[in-house]
Structures are given as structure tokens and as C-alpha cells.
Structure 1
């Protein structure tokens, strides 16, 4: 029966193409993926492969696999969903069955009965052809996705390195990443060993229409986020519950040309956070720390010049005085409240503050010295972590 249907392949292909064009439009709401001529030829080739398996046996021919592999690869390149291709393959199997059964009914009753008893070979053959098509589709899909990923990673790399000022780079980013050249952007950095796909954006962002591109860069996962009508604070609130790794959010910048600046700001924000502390460090919430982190040499000099001989004390005594100063600032410069925080008497706090003044050579009533002390404490904490 298969040999008979082999001679009727043009009719088979015509009927299936007519039905396939309709099915593709109605079932998938798009009919421009595959030209009818391409569709017809693939139906011919894949039906021939199935019928060859049925007539010659599953172990005698190896050339049958070329057609379904080629079809799978081509449909992946054309962007046809795999479900659509499999749907048309199922239609083809149904039509083959109808044609085989019609040919069998033209034979004797005994031959028809024998045909029905052995029809399992049809399903085995069409299953092999469909499986080969899926293998071709998947392999090509992986190749295409790898190419897309590399392109995305390259564009993200050049943007965070500050080359978005080049109109050609900006145009490529607009075309390939779907990001507008002018817009309100922030950069999110996540320190983790996950891939960009595993670390992808949270669903709430897509629901809000926030455009995000994610790609690895060095030992980070970089998110380029176009805020649209939303604020960076809103974004931080959405991201914070989802980030279980060390992460940072830059300040807002204008357009792709300033993505490099945003990346630098995100790196600074990241360094305001202790290396072993997970969660999102938001630059605009940590600007004093960012000032210190941005210039380690100046931070070291500020701490040394401001705290002076305090830093030369033994570890325990130095830590007591610094903790007292920190508590005093935290208590809005109230010795009583600072004592409550430190579990000591207010007079103890006052004695420690006087000793700090003696060692630093400046009065804590001086506004400028207070500012320097606050920054010096931040610098000391940061330098100690380093």
C-alpha cells in the first residue's frame, strides 16, 4: 500500500498544502511563516521518507532522515513554532492513513484485513520522521539562540563599557535589544554564578511594560532596565524580594549613551555593601557610602587625618571609642540615648567623647569636624572590610 501511495505523492502534497495553509492561519494566527511552495515540497519529502521506511524497512535505508532534519532546521530558521510544525505533521499522518486505507480498500478483503493488522508500521514510520524533524529543529534552535545570546552579550558589553555614545552602537542596540536610544535607564548588577537566563527579570517587570535586557559581564549578571514611566524606587521595591544574591542598583541616567556611567554607579553601589551580605544596594540610598567607596585613597586619608591617634590605639580601646562615636551620632548626639544604646551611663559616653576630642585634636561641637567624623567612620568600616 505504501508503494502505491508513493506514486500519488503530488496529490498528497497538494491536498495537505491546501489544508496546511488554512490550518496555519487559523490555528496559529499567522500565515506568512512558510511559503506554500516550501510547505508543499517539505510534505512531499517527509511523506516519501515515511513511505520509504515502510516499504524498505527501518534498518535498510539511512537516507530517509535527511528530509525531516532539513525541515526542522529550516522551520527553526523561519521562526515557525515547533507546535505548528508538529501540528502539520499530524495532519500529514492523518492524510497518509486515509490514502493508504483507500488503496487497501481497492484490494481483496484478505489484503485489507492484513493491511489493518500491520498498520502499526505507519505510526512507527511517521513517529521516526517527526522525531527526526524535532531533532533538526532543536539543534538549529540552539545554534540560533546561541548566536542571539552572543550578539546580546556583545552589545551589553560595549554599552556598559561606555561605547553607547557611538551612534552606530546605539542603533544596533535599538535594533537588536529593543531598547530606545533615549530613555530613563538604570543598571542592575547581580553577583552570582547563574546564567543570564536563570537570573532573568522578574515577571512583574514585564507586566508593567518595563523593558529589560539581561546578559553576563565578567563575574556579574547585568540588567539594563528602561524605566519607562516608573521610578528607580519602584523598581527597587519590585526587585528586592527576588534577589537572593549580592546586587546593586545604579542611579538613573539618560539614554544608551550613559549606560557606561550607570554601570560605574552600580559598581560603586555594590562596593558599599559587605561582600558577604546579600540583597540589593540602592545607590541613591547610600550616597555618603558611595562618596567614600568611589575614592579609596581619599577615604583612607580622610579616616587617618580625621581620627588621628584613635586609630593607633589597641584594638579593643579603639573599637570602644569608635562605637561610642557611632552611637552618639545615631542618637542624634544625645549622651543619654547613646548610653542606652551602649548599655552604659551618659557620663561614660561623655568621658569617651572627651577622649576622642583629645586624640583627634578637634571639638565635636564643630560642624565640619562632625561631618568629617561621620565620613571617616564610613571610610574606616569600608577599609576594614577590604
Structure 2
């Protein structure tokens, strides 16, 4: 089946379109009266419009209704749809409503309903011999509807993008100020974002997406797309309340503390992970605003502990990393613990066996399969570890000692490498 539209560009008559023995534009020419009826309909019969302030209905909406009625009347008189330049007022109104957070669906429904009412007025007096003119009027109205819909949608989305960029810039400016220890009410007013009494300070680690490692794909483009997806989901999940300083590798979030409990939960992090397409790791420290700089350092230190300790991606708080964090405080006892495993330096296979054994919850069968050795070999190596270090992995105390010693050693080496 094929569909065709009327060709309105060729041999367009000079005379105005007539329906029912008079120009089709006549019912629309009293724009004040018709606009008043339409706006009244919007206010009483269209649920989205009932939530708009009265002054907005009487002002902006009424003004745009009159303007569109004039465009439609002119269109019927000229038998041609207004060009893009004539829709400037429509685009300006859409941009203004975008800034005022009027839903796009509400705007489009109002335009569609208004044009439907206008078309009903134009065709109300149609007669049997007006079929050809009705076809022309229908096609003109559909083209006008398309032109207005495109103009409104484009202008609205463009303005939303601009607003989002402005908010992101303001968010980054305020986040930088708080992270540097500057709590300025003047800056907050300038940014249009209030400063909270306390924040969840979040350190994020964002690994590479598979596309970033694909030689057929521009890695920088893939990384930016990953970050944009994450930022979009952050705005949705956290209701645009978080102050963000992010790169494609990670960064810092400042989320105002809510009376309802933690805002960044494991479920929210799972949603962010799904949006980014990579397993995100986050560490959280809750703090008063005056302590944001110190807490940010602490959150990123916890994030490094997750990495050094070989933890799985996920959400971590201080309670989850208390032992590791305490070990990083240093002191003679920690240094002594870190040297317990030195006798194994010449035996890499013993280190590998110890890590695998602890990682597999002391299951010798799983450890043997992971290391591609016989279970008896695992037993032999565990005995050698006990001989060389006095750590007996057959006992609960030996298991605890080995886990802490491994962690202390890894942390010590991590600090040494950074120095």
C-alpha cells in the first residue's frame, strides 16, 4: 500500500482557501475570542495544564495561542505553511518553558489540542462540494502541526541541554570550592545551589569500558560516552542533587545528607554501573560540610585500599575497611606484621598458594584447580609456609594472621611505590 500527499507547491491558487462559501481563515480571525475559549479548554479539560499557574495560562499560553491562530489564518489565506523564520516566537516560548520546567508533553498536547480545535472551527460549515478544499485544509493543518512540533521539540531540547550544562558548571564550581575548604554563601547564591550542613563524600573509580580497548573504536569517544551515560543516570537517580567532579576514570561526588538515610545505596550504585556499562567502585564518608576536604582525602584513601586489597567492585564504607584503614596508620606493629612473610620472597609459588587458599575460603580442592596442581601439592605448600613463617593455615589464628600479613605487605608496598 502506498500513501501520497497533496502537492501544495505546484500551481498554488492565488485566492484564499474557502470552505462553506467563505474564507477558511474567517473563524480564526477573532484571535482574542478564540484564544480565550481555547485557553479555557486547556485549563479545565487538559490535566497537565490544570497544574500551570493561572498567570501563565492568562499570559504566555494565551499569547502563544493568539500567535498560532494568526499563523493558521495566514496559512489558509496563502495556501502555504509558514516557513521556519515565522516560527521564531514558537521556539522562543518553548525555550522559556523549558527553563521554567514546564513538561514538554504538556506543551505539545496544548499545541495539538489547539490546532485540533482550530481545525474544527474552520471545517464546521463545510458542505458536500468542499471535499477538495477540505483535503487541502487537512494537509495544510498536518504540515503546520509537524512544523510546530519540530520547532518546539528542538528548541526545548536545546534549552534543556544548555540548562544542564549551566547546572553542571555551577555544580563543579561549588564542588571545587567545598573540596578546597571554601564555604561561600555568595558562591552558592551565584551557582543557584544551596550548601547543605553535611554531605556523603563519595570517591568513584570508573574502569575502562570494553569499547575503550577496541582498536576499531576511538577510545576517547567511547570514554566520553561512558561518562555521559553515568552523568545522566546520576542526575536521574540522585535527582540532580549531587555536586560532581568526574573524569572518565573516576572522581568525587558530594551528596547532601538526607533525613531518610543514605542516598548512595548498593541499589543506586548498581543502577549507575548498568548505565555506565562498567563495574563502578565507590567509597563513602559522611561528614559535616566544614570537613569535606579531609573526608574527600579519606574517601579516596579507602578507594585505594579497595584496589590494593583486591576487593570486588561495589559500595564500601569505613566499617567495611576498618582493619585495612588502621593498618595504613603505620607504626612498629604494622611494620612488624608486614615482615612476617619475607621468608617467602624467594618462593613465589607459596605466595600464590596462600592468596588462592585464602581467596577460596580455605578450600584446597578449589585452590588446586585454580593453580592447576594436585590437592596434595597444595597441602605440601601450606606445610612449607608454616615451616618458613610459623603461620599455620590449618588454624583459625594462622588464617587471620596470614590475611592481615598479606594486607599489611600489600599496603606497605603500595605506599613505597607511590613514594
Q: TM-score, normalised by structure 1?
A: 0.69
Deviation at 1:323, TM superposition (A): 7.1
Cα RMSD between the aligned structures? 4.7
Query: CA, structure 1 residues 23+84, in 2 after alignment: closer, same or farther (shift >3 Å)?
Result: farther
Deviation at 1:139, TM superposition (A): 1.9
Query: Which of 153, 162, 165 pairs up with 1:143?
Result: 162
* 1:377 correspondence with 2:409: yes
Aligned length: 346
* 1:182 correspondence with 2:197: yes
Check the 8 A contact 2:343/2:388 in 1, yes or no: no
1:329-344 alignment to 2 at 5 Å? 343-344=379-380
Query: CA, structure 1 residues 91+277, in 2 after alignment: closer, same or farther (shift >3 Å)?
Result: same
1:211-250 alignment to 2 at 5 Å? 213=242, 215-218=244-247, 219-229=249-259, 237-238=266-267, 241-242=270-271, 243=273, 244-250=278-284
Query: CA, structure 1 residues 344+168, in 2 after alignment: closer, same or farther (shift >3 Å)?
Result: farther
Query: Which of 47, 56, 65 pairs up with 2:87?
Result: 65
Query: CA, structure 1 residues 112+246, in 2 after alignment: closer, same or farther (shift >3 Å)?
Result: closer
Query: CA, structure 1 residues 123+213, in 2 after alignment: closer, same or farther (shift >3 Å)?
Result: same
Q: Residue in 1 aligned with 2:298?
A: 265
Q: Secondary structure at 1:252's aligned position in 2? A: strand
Looking at structure 2, the residues matched to 277 and 385 of structure 1 have their Cα atoms a distance apart, in angstroms, of 20
Q: Residue in 1 aligned with 2:388?
A: 352
Q: Residue in 2 aligned with 1:20?
A: 42
Check the 8 A contact 1:250/1:282 in 2, yes or no: yes
Query: CA, structure 1 residues 21+327, in 2 after alignment: closer, same or farther (shift >3 Å)?
Result: closer
Query: CA, structure 1 residues 128+198, in 2 after alignment: closer, same or farther (shift >3 Å)?
Result: closer
Deviation at 1:267, TM superposition (A): 0.8
Check the 8 A contact 2:242/2:253 in 1, yes or no: yes
Listed as ranges, the gaps of 5+ residues in structure 2 are 1-22, 208-225, 362-374, 392-400
Query: CA, structure 1 residues 375+96, in 2 after alignment: closer, same or farther (shift >3 Å)?
Result: closer
Moved more, 371-380 or 255-264: 371-380
Looking at structure 2, the residues matched to 185 and 241 of structure 1 have their Cα atoms a distance apart, in angstroms, of 17
Looking at structure 2, the residues matched to 325 and 123 of structure 1 have their Cα atoms a distance apart, in angstroms, of 70
Deviation at 1:271, TM superposition (A): 1.0
Query: Which of 173, 179, 182 pairs up with 1:154?
Result: 173
Q: Residue in 2 aligned with 1:47?
A: 69
Looking at structure 2, the residues matched to 231 and 19 of structure 1 have their Cα atoms a distance apart, in angstroms, of 44
Q: Residue in 2 aligned with 1:361?
A: none
Q: Deviations over 1:63-121 (max 9, x none)?
A: 4222322222222233221121122212311221232124x45xxx4663443343322
Query: CA, structure 1 residues 78+33, in 2 after alignment: closer, same or farther (shift >3 Å)?
Result: farther
Q: Residue in 2 aligned with 1:89?
A: 111
Q: Residue in 2 aligned with 1:163?
A: 181
Looking at structure 2, the residues matched to 326 and 124 of structure 1 have their Cα atoms a distance apart, in angstroms, of 69
Check the 8 A contact 1:245/1:278 in 2, yes or no: no
Check the 8 A contact 1:189/1:222 in 2, yes or no: yes
Looking at structure 1, the residues matched to 42 and 182 of structure 2 have their Cα atoms a distance apart, in angstroms, of 45
Listed as ranges, the gaps of 5+ residues in structure 1 are 332-338, 356-368
